[in-house]
Amino acid sequence: MLHSEMEGENRLHRILGPWQLTGLGVGAIIGTGIFVLTGVAAHDHTGPALMLSFVVSGLACVFAALCYAEFASMAPVAGSAYTYAYATLGELFAWIIGWDLVLEYAVASSTVAHGWSHYFQDFLNIFGQKVLGKESLVLPHALTNAPFDYDTATGAFVSTGTVLDFPALAIAAIMTVLLVRGIRESARVNSTMVIIKLAVVMFVIGVGAFYVNPANWHPFAPFGLAGVSFFGHTIAGQTGAGGEPLGMLAGAAIIFFAYIGFDAVSTQAEEAKNPKRDVPFGIIASLVVCTILYIAVSAVLTGMVPYDQINVDAPVSAAFGHAGLPWAQFLVSLGAMAGITSVLLVMMLSQPRILLAMARDGLIPKSFFGAVHGKFRTPYKGTIATGIFVGTLASFLPLRILAELVNIGTLLAFVMVCSAVLVMRKINPTAERPFRAPWFPFIPIMGILTCLLLMFSLPPENWVRLIVWLAIGFLIYFGYGKRHSVLGKSHAAHK
Ligand code: ALA
Protein backbone atom coordinates (compact mmCIF):
# COMPACT_ATOMS: atom_id res chain seq x y z
CA MET A 1 0.00 0.00 0.00
CA LEU A 2 2.70 2.45 0.95
CA HIS A 3 4.84 1.55 -1.99
CA SER A 4 1.94 1.97 -4.34
CA GLU A 5 1.67 5.50 -3.01
CA MET A 6 5.07 6.19 -4.49
CA GLU A 7 3.94 5.74 -8.04
CA GLY A 8 1.96 8.08 -10.21
CA GLU A 9 2.05 11.71 -11.19
CA ASN A 10 3.13 14.68 -9.18
CA ARG A 11 6.29 12.97 -7.87
CA LEU A 12 9.14 15.05 -6.55
CA HIS A 13 12.76 14.80 -7.80
CA ARG A 14 15.09 12.18 -6.14
CA ILE A 15 18.31 14.08 -5.61
CA LEU A 16 19.36 13.81 -1.93
CA GLY A 17 22.21 11.52 -0.68
CA PRO A 18 22.97 10.38 2.95
CA TRP A 19 25.15 13.36 3.91
CA GLN A 20 22.77 15.83 2.35
CA LEU A 21 20.00 14.22 4.39
CA THR A 22 22.12 14.45 7.56
CA GLY A 23 22.80 18.08 6.62
CA LEU A 24 19.08 18.68 6.27
CA GLY A 25 18.59 17.05 9.67
CA VAL A 26 21.24 19.16 11.39
CA GLY A 27 19.86 22.10 9.44
CA ALA A 28 16.46 21.47 10.95
CA ILE A 29 17.70 20.81 14.47
CA ILE A 30 20.21 23.44 15.65
CA GLY A 31 18.37 26.75 15.90
CA THR A 32 16.10 28.70 18.19
CA GLY A 33 16.15 25.92 20.81
CA ILE A 34 19.86 26.11 21.58
CA PHE A 35 20.38 29.78 20.68
CA VAL A 36 17.30 31.22 22.42
CA LEU A 37 15.34 28.85 24.67
CA THR A 38 18.42 27.76 26.66
CA GLY A 39 18.28 31.24 28.21
CA VAL A 40 14.76 30.93 29.61
CA ALA A 41 15.35 27.30 30.59
CA ALA A 42 18.57 27.94 32.52
CA HIS A 43 17.48 31.25 34.03
CA ASP A 44 13.99 30.23 35.17
CA HIS A 45 13.85 26.44 35.35
CA THR A 46 17.13 24.58 35.71
CA GLY A 47 20.30 26.54 36.43
CA PRO A 48 23.44 24.62 35.36
CA ALA A 49 21.42 21.36 35.47
CA LEU A 50 20.46 22.39 31.94
CA MET A 51 23.22 19.99 30.83
CA LEU A 52 21.24 17.11 32.32
CA SER A 53 18.03 18.43 30.76
CA PHE A 54 19.68 18.04 27.37
CA VAL A 55 20.64 14.46 28.24
CA VAL A 56 17.08 13.52 29.27
CA SER A 57 15.44 15.23 26.32
CA GLY A 58 18.04 13.79 23.95
CA LEU A 59 17.29 10.29 25.28
CA ALA A 60 13.57 10.69 24.63
CA CYS A 61 14.41 11.77 21.10
CA VAL A 62 16.79 8.87 20.51
CA PHE A 63 14.03 6.39 21.45
CA ALA A 64 11.58 8.15 19.14
CA ALA A 65 14.19 8.50 16.39
CA LEU A 66 14.84 4.76 16.33
CA CYS A 67 11.09 4.20 15.85
CA TYR A 68 10.95 6.87 13.15
CA ALA A 69 13.90 5.26 11.42
CA GLU A 70 12.16 1.87 11.34
CA PHE A 71 9.11 3.41 9.73
CA ALA A 72 11.08 5.60 7.40
CA SER A 73 12.89 2.54 6.05
CA MET A 74 9.58 0.73 5.50
CA ALA A 75 7.71 3.62 3.95
CA PRO A 76 10.09 5.89 2.09
CA VAL A 77 7.51 8.37 0.87
CA ALA A 78 6.82 12.00 1.73
CA GLY A 79 4.69 12.70 4.76
CA SER A 80 6.68 11.40 7.71
CA ALA A 81 4.76 10.16 10.74
CA TYR A 82 1.49 10.94 9.02
CA THR A 83 2.16 8.36 6.32
CA TYR A 84 3.27 5.74 8.83
CA ALA A 85 0.13 6.23 10.86
CA TYR A 86 -2.00 5.96 7.74
CA ALA A 87 -0.51 2.57 6.99
CA THR A 88 -0.75 1.20 10.51
CA LEU A 89 -3.37 2.87 12.64
CA GLY A 90 -5.91 3.94 10.01
CA GLU A 91 -7.22 7.19 8.66
CA LEU A 92 -8.49 8.86 11.83
CA PHE A 93 -5.20 8.38 13.69
CA ALA A 94 -3.32 9.48 10.61
CA TRP A 95 -5.37 12.63 10.54
CA ILE A 96 -4.67 13.29 14.23
CA ILE A 97 -0.94 12.91 13.62
CA GLY A 98 -1.01 14.97 10.43
CA TRP A 99 -2.87 17.74 12.19
CA ASP A 100 -0.47 17.45 15.10
CA LEU A 101 2.47 17.74 12.72
CA VAL A 102 1.17 21.15 11.68
CA LEU A 103 2.09 22.11 15.23
CA GLU A 104 5.47 20.53 14.82
CA TYR A 105 6.34 22.22 11.55
CA ALA A 106 4.26 25.30 10.84
CA VAL A 107 3.85 26.48 14.42
CA ALA A 108 7.50 25.58 15.12
CA SER A 109 8.49 27.69 12.11
CA SER A 110 6.72 30.64 13.67
CA THR A 111 8.63 30.07 16.90
CA VAL A 112 11.87 29.84 14.99
CA ALA A 113 11.11 33.02 13.02
CA HIS A 114 10.64 34.79 16.36
CA GLY A 115 14.00 33.49 17.58
CA TRP A 116 15.58 34.73 14.36
CA SER A 117 14.13 38.14 15.05
CA HIS A 118 15.79 38.22 18.53
CA TYR A 119 19.22 37.57 17.05
CA PHE A 120 18.60 39.94 14.16
CA GLN A 121 17.84 42.70 16.65
CA ASP A 122 20.84 41.74 18.79
CA PHE A 123 22.97 41.85 15.65
CA LEU A 124 21.61 45.28 14.59
CA ASN A 125 22.36 46.57 18.03
CA ILE A 126 26.01 45.46 18.07
CA PHE A 127 26.48 46.41 14.43
CA GLY A 128 25.24 49.91 15.18
CA GLN A 129 27.47 50.26 18.22
CA LYS A 130 30.69 48.68 17.03
CA VAL A 131 30.69 49.18 13.28
CA LEU A 132 28.72 52.38 12.73
CA GLY A 133 29.80 53.90 16.02
CA LYS A 134 26.24 54.88 16.94
CA GLU A 135 24.65 54.41 20.34
CA SER A 136 22.87 51.43 18.85
CA LEU A 137 20.72 50.62 15.86
CA VAL A 138 17.18 49.72 16.85
CA LEU A 139 13.91 49.12 15.05
CA PRO A 140 10.86 51.19 16.00
CA HIS A 141 9.57 49.58 19.20
CA ALA A 142 6.18 48.82 17.62
CA LEU A 143 7.85 46.41 15.16
CA THR A 144 10.03 44.44 17.57
CA ASN A 145 7.80 41.83 19.18
CA ALA A 146 4.39 40.17 19.43
CA PRO A 147 1.79 42.53 20.95
CA PHE A 148 1.28 40.47 24.13
CA ASP A 149 3.04 37.91 26.28
CA TYR A 150 2.24 35.48 29.07
CA ASP A 151 3.61 36.43 32.46
CA THR A 152 4.52 33.27 34.35
CA ALA A 153 4.79 35.15 37.63
CA THR A 154 1.14 36.20 37.60
CA GLY A 155 -0.29 33.65 35.18
CA ALA A 156 -1.87 36.46 33.13
CA PHE A 157 -1.45 37.89 29.64
CA VAL A 158 0.28 41.27 29.51
CA SER A 159 0.64 43.83 26.72
CA THR A 160 4.17 44.37 25.37
CA GLY A 161 3.30 47.76 23.89
CA THR A 162 4.26 46.62 20.38
CA VAL A 163 2.20 45.90 17.26
CA LEU A 164 3.97 43.00 15.59
CA ASP A 165 7.30 41.23 15.17
CA PHE A 166 8.28 42.60 11.79
CA PRO A 167 11.65 40.82 11.30
CA ALA A 168 9.89 37.50 11.95
CA LEU A 169 7.32 38.31 9.28
CA ALA A 170 10.01 39.36 6.81
CA ILE A 171 12.10 36.20 7.21
CA ALA A 172 9.01 34.01 6.77
CA ALA A 173 8.24 35.81 3.50
CA ILE A 174 11.80 35.44 2.18
CA MET A 175 11.84 31.72 2.97
CA THR A 176 8.53 31.19 1.20
CA VAL A 177 9.84 32.72 -2.02
CA LEU A 178 13.00 30.61 -1.84
CA LEU A 179 11.06 27.40 -1.25
CA VAL A 180 8.63 27.95 -4.08
CA ARG A 181 11.64 28.14 -6.42
CA GLY A 182 12.83 24.65 -5.63
CA ILE A 183 14.49 22.12 -3.41
CA ARG A 184 17.79 21.98 -5.28
CA GLU A 185 18.47 25.68 -4.75
CA SER A 186 17.16 25.38 -1.19
CA ALA A 187 19.48 22.44 -0.42
CA ARG A 188 22.47 24.45 -1.66
CA VAL A 189 21.66 27.51 0.46
CA ASN A 190 21.01 25.18 3.36
CA SER A 191 24.41 23.44 3.11
CA THR A 192 26.21 26.77 3.36
CA MET A 193 24.19 27.84 6.38
CA VAL A 194 24.63 24.49 8.10
CA ILE A 195 28.42 24.81 7.74
CA ILE A 196 28.37 28.35 9.18
CA LYS A 197 26.13 27.21 12.01
CA LEU A 198 28.36 24.26 12.93
CA ALA A 199 31.42 26.51 12.82
CA VAL A 200 29.74 28.94 15.22
CA VAL A 201 28.67 26.18 17.60
CA MET A 202 32.26 24.85 17.61
CA PHE A 203 33.48 28.37 18.23
CA VAL A 204 31.13 28.79 21.18
CA ILE A 205 32.37 25.53 22.68
CA GLY A 206 36.09 25.99 21.85
CA VAL A 207 36.48 29.68 22.77
CA GLY A 208 33.79 29.76 25.45
CA ALA A 209 35.57 26.93 27.31
CA PHE A 210 38.41 29.35 28.16
CA TYR A 211 35.96 31.68 29.88
CA VAL A 212 34.24 29.07 32.02
CA ASN A 213 34.37 29.66 35.75
CA PRO A 214 33.53 26.32 37.42
CA ALA A 215 32.17 28.23 40.43
CA ASN A 216 29.20 29.15 38.21
CA TRP A 217 28.21 25.46 38.15
CA HIS A 218 27.38 25.64 41.88
CA PRO A 219 24.65 25.19 42.90
CA PHE A 220 24.17 22.70 40.10
CA ALA A 221 20.40 22.35 40.35
CA PRO A 222 18.99 25.40 42.16
CA PHE A 223 15.44 24.42 41.17
CA GLY A 224 15.92 20.69 41.86
CA LEU A 225 16.08 17.76 39.49
CA ALA A 226 12.36 17.13 39.00
CA GLY A 227 9.45 19.26 37.80
CA VAL A 228 6.37 17.17 36.96
CA SER A 229 2.73 18.16 37.34
CA PHE A 230 -0.45 16.29 36.56
CA PHE A 231 -3.04 18.72 35.19
CA GLY A 232 -2.04 21.43 37.63
CA HIS A 233 -1.20 19.19 40.63
CA THR A 234 2.51 19.13 41.35
CA ILE A 235 3.71 15.54 41.54
CA ALA A 236 7.44 16.04 41.87
CA GLY A 237 9.61 19.08 42.38
CA GLN A 238 9.04 22.79 42.73
CA THR A 239 6.35 24.96 41.18
CA GLY A 240 6.64 28.56 39.98
CA ALA A 241 4.32 31.45 40.88
CA GLY A 242 2.15 30.84 37.80
CA GLY A 243 1.79 27.11 38.60
CA GLU A 244 4.41 25.86 36.11
CA PRO A 245 6.75 23.02 37.12
CA LEU A 246 10.37 23.99 37.83
CA GLY A 247 13.52 21.85 37.84
CA MET A 248 15.72 19.80 35.55
CA LEU A 249 12.83 17.82 34.02
CA ALA A 250 10.77 20.96 33.46
CA GLY A 251 13.80 22.41 31.66
CA ALA A 252 14.08 19.24 29.58
CA ALA A 253 10.48 19.72 28.44
CA ILE A 254 11.24 23.25 27.28
CA ILE A 255 14.54 22.64 25.53
CA PHE A 256 12.99 19.59 23.85
CA PHE A 257 12.27 22.20 21.20
CA ALA A 258 15.99 22.23 20.42
CA TYR A 259 15.81 18.62 19.17
CA ILE A 260 12.75 18.98 17.01
CA GLY A 261 13.59 18.57 13.38
CA PHE A 262 15.46 15.25 13.17
CA ASP A 263 12.29 13.69 11.83
CA ALA A 264 12.21 16.32 9.09
CA VAL A 265 14.67 14.02 7.33
CA SER A 266 11.83 11.53 6.97
CA THR A 267 9.62 14.08 5.25
CA GLN A 268 12.23 14.31 2.54
CA ALA A 269 12.23 10.56 1.89
CA GLU A 270 10.62 11.02 -1.48
CA GLU A 271 13.47 13.23 -2.60
CA ALA A 272 16.17 10.81 -1.34
CA LYS A 273 18.19 8.72 -3.79
CA ASN A 274 18.23 5.62 -1.58
CA PRO A 275 15.62 6.29 1.10
CA LYS A 276 15.59 2.85 2.75
CA ARG A 277 19.21 3.10 3.79
CA ASP A 278 19.89 6.82 3.86
CA VAL A 279 16.85 8.13 5.72
CA PRO A 280 17.43 6.08 8.93
CA PHE A 281 21.11 7.05 8.70
CA GLY A 282 20.25 10.74 8.31
CA ILE A 283 17.82 10.72 11.23
CA ILE A 284 20.13 9.03 13.71
CA ALA A 285 23.38 10.71 12.60
CA SER A 286 21.92 14.20 12.84
CA LEU A 287 20.40 13.54 16.26
CA VAL A 288 23.62 12.12 17.73
CA VAL A 289 25.73 15.03 16.44
CA CYS A 290 23.32 17.58 17.89
CA THR A 291 23.00 15.89 21.29
CA ILE A 292 26.76 16.00 21.83
CA LEU A 293 27.00 19.63 20.74
CA TYR A 294 24.07 20.71 22.93
CA ILE A 295 25.47 19.22 26.10
CA ALA A 296 28.78 20.97 25.42
CA VAL A 297 27.14 24.33 24.64
CA SER A 298 24.98 24.24 27.77
CA ALA A 299 28.01 23.37 29.91
CA VAL A 300 29.91 26.33 28.47
CA LEU A 301 26.99 28.75 28.69
CA THR A 302 26.21 28.00 32.33
CA GLY A 303 29.94 28.04 33.10
CA MET A 304 30.49 31.46 31.50
CA VAL A 305 27.58 33.29 33.13
CA PRO A 306 25.96 32.73 36.58
CA TYR A 307 22.60 31.15 35.74
CA ASP A 308 20.54 34.00 37.17
CA GLN A 309 22.34 36.49 34.92
CA ILE A 310 21.88 34.56 31.68
CA ASN A 311 20.19 36.68 29.01
CA VAL A 312 16.79 35.34 27.98
CA ASP A 313 16.59 36.85 24.46
CA ALA A 314 19.94 36.05 22.86
CA PRO A 315 21.74 34.09 25.60
CA VAL A 316 24.61 32.57 23.62
CA SER A 317 25.88 35.75 22.01
CA ALA A 318 25.23 37.75 25.19
CA ALA A 319 27.49 35.34 27.12
CA PHE A 320 30.40 36.56 25.01
CA GLY A 321 29.40 40.16 25.63
CA HIS A 322 29.42 39.27 29.35
CA ALA A 323 32.94 37.85 28.95
CA GLY A 324 34.09 41.16 27.44
CA LEU A 325 34.43 39.87 23.86
CA PRO A 326 32.16 42.09 21.71
CA TRP A 327 33.69 40.82 18.45
CA ALA A 328 32.76 37.26 19.48
CA GLN A 329 29.26 38.42 20.39
CA PHE A 330 28.98 39.90 16.89
CA LEU A 331 30.22 36.70 15.26
CA VAL A 332 27.95 34.46 17.31
CA SER A 333 24.84 36.50 16.64
CA LEU A 334 25.60 36.48 12.91
CA GLY A 335 26.15 32.71 12.97
CA ALA A 336 23.02 32.16 15.04
CA MET A 337 21.01 34.07 12.47
CA ALA A 338 22.37 31.91 9.66
CA GLY A 339 21.76 28.80 11.75
CA ILE A 340 18.23 29.68 12.63
CA THR A 341 17.51 30.54 9.00
CA SER A 342 18.47 27.03 7.96
CA VAL A 343 16.03 25.58 10.53
CA LEU A 344 13.31 27.71 9.11
CA LEU A 345 14.15 26.56 5.62
CA VAL A 346 13.86 22.86 6.43
CA MET A 347 10.76 23.25 8.60
CA MET A 348 8.96 25.30 6.01
CA LEU A 349 10.09 22.82 3.38
CA SER A 350 8.64 19.91 5.35
CA GLN A 351 5.19 21.28 6.13
CA PRO A 352 3.89 21.53 2.54
CA ARG A 353 5.15 17.99 1.90
CA ILE A 354 3.12 16.64 4.79
CA LEU A 355 0.12 18.56 3.48
CA LEU A 356 0.83 17.09 0.03
CA ALA A 357 0.66 13.57 1.46
CA MET A 358 -2.59 14.39 3.25
CA ALA A 359 -4.03 15.92 0.07
CA ARG A 360 -3.15 12.80 -1.93
CA ASP A 361 -5.29 10.84 0.51
CA GLY A 362 -8.12 13.34 0.04
CA LEU A 363 -8.14 14.56 3.65
CA ILE A 364 -7.56 18.17 2.60
CA PRO A 365 -8.34 19.72 -0.81
CA LYS A 366 -6.13 18.05 -3.40
CA SER A 367 -6.49 20.73 -6.05
CA PHE A 368 -4.83 23.15 -3.66
CA PHE A 369 -2.41 21.24 -1.41
CA GLY A 370 -1.65 18.59 -4.01
CA ALA A 371 -0.70 21.05 -6.75
CA VAL A 372 2.92 20.71 -7.90
CA HIS A 373 4.38 23.66 -9.84
CA GLY A 374 4.89 22.90 -13.56
CA LYS A 375 8.38 24.38 -13.75
CA PHE A 376 9.79 24.29 -10.21
CA ARG A 377 8.26 20.88 -9.27
CA THR A 378 7.45 22.14 -5.76
CA PRO A 379 4.11 21.99 -3.91
CA TYR A 380 3.87 25.74 -4.37
CA LYS A 381 0.33 26.47 -3.22
CA GLY A 382 0.87 24.56 0.04
CA THR A 383 4.20 26.36 0.45
CA ILE A 384 2.60 29.77 0.08
CA ALA A 385 -0.23 28.86 2.46
CA THR A 386 2.36 27.64 4.98
CA GLY A 387 4.28 30.91 4.56
CA ILE A 388 1.21 33.01 5.30
CA PHE A 389 0.32 30.92 8.35
CA VAL A 390 3.89 31.05 9.72
CA GLY A 391 4.25 34.79 9.11
CA THR A 392 0.96 35.57 10.83
CA LEU A 393 1.60 33.48 13.94
CA ALA A 394 5.19 34.68 14.23
CA SER A 395 4.12 38.31 14.05
CA PHE A 396 1.40 38.21 16.66
CA LEU A 397 1.93 35.38 19.17
CA PRO A 398 4.63 35.28 21.88
CA LEU A 399 7.61 32.96 21.51
CA ARG A 400 7.23 31.01 24.74
CA ILE A 401 3.60 30.11 24.13
CA LEU A 402 4.36 28.99 20.59
CA ALA A 403 7.37 26.93 21.73
CA GLU A 404 5.45 25.09 24.46
CA LEU A 405 2.55 24.34 22.16
CA VAL A 406 4.95 22.94 19.59
CA ASN A 407 6.62 20.79 22.24
CA ILE A 408 3.45 19.21 23.55
CA GLY A 409 2.19 18.56 20.01
CA THR A 410 5.45 17.03 18.87
CA LEU A 411 5.75 14.89 22.00
CA LEU A 412 2.26 13.55 21.28
CA ALA A 413 3.31 12.74 17.70
CA PHE A 414 6.34 10.88 19.06
CA VAL A 415 4.15 8.89 21.47
CA MET A 416 1.97 7.89 18.53
CA VAL A 417 4.92 6.93 16.33
CA CYS A 418 6.39 4.74 19.09
CA SER A 419 2.96 3.14 19.62
CA ALA A 420 2.61 2.57 15.90
CA VAL A 421 5.89 0.63 15.85
CA LEU A 422 4.53 -1.64 18.60
CA VAL A 423 1.25 -2.13 16.72
CA MET A 424 2.91 -2.70 13.35
CA ARG A 425 5.29 -5.38 14.69
CA LYS A 426 2.29 -7.19 16.14
CA ILE A 427 -0.11 -6.98 13.19
CA ASN A 428 2.44 -7.21 10.42
CA PRO A 429 5.48 -9.05 11.82
CA THR A 430 6.82 -10.24 8.48
CA ALA A 431 6.85 -6.91 6.60
CA GLU A 432 10.20 -5.98 5.15
CA ARG A 433 12.06 -3.75 7.62
CA PRO A 434 15.39 -2.60 6.18
CA PHE A 435 16.01 -0.88 9.53
CA ARG A 436 14.69 -2.35 12.79
CA ALA A 437 14.56 -0.45 16.07
CA PRO A 438 16.85 -2.51 18.38
CA TRP A 439 15.91 -4.05 21.77
CA PHE A 440 12.26 -4.40 20.89
CA PRO A 441 9.94 -3.67 22.72
CA PHE A 442 12.13 -1.76 25.21
CA ILE A 443 12.87 1.16 22.84
CA PRO A 444 9.30 2.04 21.78
CA ILE A 445 7.98 1.58 25.33
CA MET A 446 10.70 3.84 26.73
CA GLY A 447 9.95 6.31 23.94
CA ILE A 448 6.30 6.45 24.99
CA LEU A 449 7.12 6.80 28.70
CA THR A 450 9.82 9.46 28.37
CA CYS A 451 7.75 11.57 25.96
CA LEU A 452 4.72 11.36 28.27
CA LEU A 453 6.90 12.39 31.22
CA LEU A 454 8.08 15.46 29.31
CA MET A 455 4.48 16.32 28.38
CA PHE A 456 3.64 16.39 32.09
CA SER A 457 6.68 18.58 32.80
CA LEU A 458 5.38 21.42 30.63
CA PRO A 459 3.24 24.18 32.16
CA PRO A 460 -0.19 22.53 32.53
CA GLU A 461 -2.15 25.05 30.43
CA ASN A 462 -0.53 23.48 27.38
CA TRP A 463 -2.81 20.47 27.72
CA VAL A 464 -5.80 22.74 27.26
CA ARG A 465 -4.20 24.33 24.19
CA LEU A 466 -3.42 20.90 22.76
CA ILE A 467 -6.99 19.71 23.29
CA VAL A 468 -8.39 22.85 21.62
CA TRP A 469 -6.04 22.31 18.70
CA LEU A 470 -7.10 18.69 18.33
CA ALA A 471 -10.78 19.67 18.58
CA ILE A 472 -10.35 22.06 15.64
CA GLY A 473 -8.69 19.19 13.79
CA PHE A 474 -11.66 16.89 14.44
CA LEU A 475 -14.03 19.53 13.11
CA ILE A 476 -12.06 19.69 9.86
CA TYR A 477 -11.82 15.90 9.59
CA PHE A 478 -15.52 15.24 10.14
CA GLY A 479 -16.53 18.34 8.16
CA TYR A 480 -14.32 17.67 5.14
CA GLY A 481 -11.70 14.90 5.29
CA LYS A 482 -13.90 11.93 6.06
CA ARG A 483 -16.30 12.72 3.21
CA HIS A 484 -13.59 13.38 0.62
CA SER A 485 -11.00 10.78 1.60
CA VAL A 486 -9.73 8.46 -1.11
CA LEU A 487 -10.07 5.53 1.28
CA GLY A 488 -13.64 6.48 2.20
CA LYS A 489 -14.61 6.82 -1.44
CA SER A 490 -13.14 3.45 -2.41
CA HIS A 491 -14.99 1.77 0.49
CA ALA A 492 -18.22 3.43 -0.67
CA ALA A 493 -17.59 2.25 -4.26
CA HIS A 494 -17.17 -1.38 -3.11
CA LYS A 495 -20.45 -1.44 -1.23
N1 ALA B 1 15.10 22.37 16.78
C2 ALA B 1 14.73 23.54 16.10
C3 ALA B 1 15.23 24.76 16.76
O4 ALA B 1 15.73 24.68 17.83
C5 ALA B 1 13.28 23.60 15.86
O6 ALA B 1 15.13 25.84 16.21
Alpha carbon of 28 to ligand 1 centroid (Å): 6
Alpha carbon of 203 to ligand 1 centroid (Å): 19
Phi, psi dihedral angles at 239 (to 5 degrees): -130, 140
* pLDDT for 3: 39
Mutate to test the pocket of ligand 1, among 26, 29, 267 (most ligand atoms within 8 A of CB): 29
Alpha carbon of 343 to ligand 1 centroid (Å): 6
* pLDDT for 12: 59
The set of residues, in sequence order, having a beta carbon less than 8 Å from that of 425 and lying 6+ positions away, is: 440, 441
Mutate to test the pocket of ligand 1, among 110, 257, 286 (most ligand atoms within 8 A of CB): 257
* pLDDT for 87: 74
Domain that includes residue 167, residue range: 4-493
Mean pLDDT of each 10-residue bin along the chain, 495 residues long: 40 72 84 94 94 95 89 67 76 88 90 92 84 76 86 77 93 92 71 89 97 96 85 76 85 95 74 79 89 96 96 92 92 92 87 87 88 82 94 92 93 91 88 85 96 94 93 93 77 56
- CA 446 → CA 192, 252, 297, 439, 441, distances in Å? 36, 16, 26, 11, 9
Q: Give the nearest ligand 1 atom to 31 CA.
A: 6
Domain count within the chain: 1
Q: Give the nearest ligand 1 atom to 34 CA.
A: 4
Which candidate, 224, 204, 200, places its Cα nearest to that of 298?
204
Alpha carbon of 276 to ligand 1 centroid (Å): 25
| CATH code (residue 323) | 1.20.1740.10
* pLDDT for 49: 96
Percentages helix, strand, coil for the chain (3-state, rounded to 5) are 70, 5, 25
Tell how far CA 220 is from the center of its chain: 27
Distance (Å, rounded) from C-alpha 280 to C-alpha 278?
Answer: 6
* pLDDT for 160: 86
- CA 245 → CA 87, 240, 356, 407, distances in Å? 37, 6, 38, 15
Alpha carbon of 102 to ligand 1 centroid (Å): 15
Alpha carbon of 3 to ligand 1 centroid (Å): 31
Distance (Å, rounded) from C-alpha 78 to C-alpha 156?
Answer: 41
Q: Please give the DSSP secondary-structure letter assigned to residue 32.
A: H
Which candidate, 202, 188, 201, 252, places its Cα nearest to that of 223?
252
Mutate to test the pocket of ligand 1, among 24, 110, 259 (most ligand atoms within 8 A of CB): 259
* pLDDT for 8: 41
Which candidate, 254, 189, 247, 194, places its Cα nearest to that of 221?
247
* Sign, Cα dihedral of 463, 464, 466, 470: positive
Q: Whose C-alpha lies nearest to ligand 1, atom 5?
A: 260
Beta bridge pairs of residue 246 = 238
The set of residues, in sequence order, having a beta carbon less than 8 Å from that of 28 and lying 6+ positions away, is: 260, 261, 262, 264, 265, 286, 342, 343, 346, 347, 350
**Cβ < 6 Å from ligand 1: which residues?**
29, 31-33, 108, 112, 257-261, 343
